[in-house]
Amino acid sequence: MARRSHATAVGWIACDGLDELGAGQKEGWLTDAPLLAALHSHHLALAHPSLVFLLGWEEYRGPAEAGGQVRIRPSLPPPEGEITAVEWIAVDDLLALALGTSGGYLLLYSTEADLIHKQIVHTGRVLRLRFREIEDSPFSNTLSYELCVVMPGAIARFDGSDIKSLLQRWFDGTRSRPGEGKRREEGEVDSYGRIPYQVWNVSKLGMCADAAITGIMPPPLLELPSRERYYCAVTIGDDAVISAYRLSEDRSRSLVGTILSKVVPATFSTIASFSKMIWRSEQVQSKKPEVKPQPFAKV
């Protein structure tokens, strides 16, 4: 009886440029520590500290129909650091690639390697970028989006509607003025403005190795009801401390603080060993960018 396979081929990638990322040089190059990856339904992004490969594919039919490849080499001076995080931004029919740097910068690129936007989030290394789609109500088909930027002692949130507005203006401008993206890389055109965001300090119990904004929370019991939103953030520290925070959207409201903190013994915890394998401890960039970062919001 023939052996049955439960794997389904979804795409095929074959190109001769992956040796720049270490392909073919040693076994297990895909699990190399500096290599970053982000997967989209039609694109794969592979990144090293100074280079990003965009590889595309369509429905799997065979190696002869592999998608093309695009290289992104950001011009990053020393204060902006190197590439440390990568994530796809897909809002409706708009698609862009987000890069985080060790200097605390957020960069957005098109799939043709055009620079769309660049701004500083906060001083420090960007550990992870998380973009997610949120269903506003189980009884409606409306969706919203958010981008979470994780740093060793901070977490930032970008609303998807603000990102969509900037992307829409950029793509509309590119269609009317071809070649604008290349000029933006050289700094010859004006920016479309900063994307508004909020950043919170979550380093009360130590630096975090990873974090995420998980959803919206009700307000504290002792505070009056308001239209302001509160977000829940979960952090995992380098010392295996798992903490949950209530993040206030209004900077003028009182300090709320940590709502949960659990210290997990490193000698017995599987979470501790798992975090050491998945999340790498990195040193914070010593040189600060000249652009002043946005102050923290209330936690």
Q: What is the pLDDT of residues 8-20, one digit of tens each?
A: 666 666 666 777 7
Q: For residue 63, name the pLDDT band (cuts at 50, 70, 90).
A: very low
Q: For residue 205, name the pLDDT band (cuts at 50, 70, 90).
A: confident
User: How many degrees, rounded to 5, is the angle at CA 298 between CA 98 and CA 122?
Assistant: 35
Chain centroid, CA 135 distance in Å: 20
- CA dist list (Å): 26 to 22, 125, 175: 7, 28, 43
Domain boundaries of the chain, sorted by first residue: 202-283+295-299
> Does the predicted model carry a pTM greater than 0.85?
no
Q: For residue 254, name the pLDDT band (cuts at 50, 70, 90).
A: very low
Q: What pLDDT is attached to residue 279?
A: 44
Q: What is the pLDDT of residues 152-167, one digit of tens each?
A: 989 999 999 999 999 9
As a whole number of angstroms, the distance between CA 168 and CA 184 comes to 16
Structure letter (DSSP) for residue 297: B
224 is written with which tokens?
């009056």
14 is written with which tokens?
């074959």
**Under 8 Å CB-to-CB from 247, ≥6 apart: which residues?**
155, 157, 198, 200, 213, 230, 231, 232, 233, 297, 298, 299
As a whole number of angstroms, the distance between CA 227 and CA 241 comes to 32
What percent of the chain has a predicted confidence (pLDDT) above 70? 66
Closest CA to 229 of 240, 218, 220: 218
How many residues does the structure list for the chain?
299
As a whole number of angstroms, the distance between CA 186 and CA 35 comes to 27
Query: In this model, does residue 95 exceed pLDDT 80?
Result: yes
Q: What pLDDT is attached to residue 280?
A: 44
- CA dist list (Å): 283 to 102, 126, 280: 9, 11, 10
As a whole number of angstroms, the distance between CA 208 and CA 179 comes to 41
Q: Which amino acid belongs to residue 205?
A: L
**Under 8 Å CB-to-CB from 256, ≥6 apart: which residues?**
220, 230, 246, 248, 298, 299
Query: In this model, does residue 256 exceed pLDDT 50?
Result: no
Contact 157, 231 (CB under 8 A): yes
Bridge partner residues of 97 (DSSP)? 88, 109
Q: What pLDDT is attached to residue 66?
A: 47
Helices assigned H by DSSP within the chain? 160-176, 180-185, 270-278
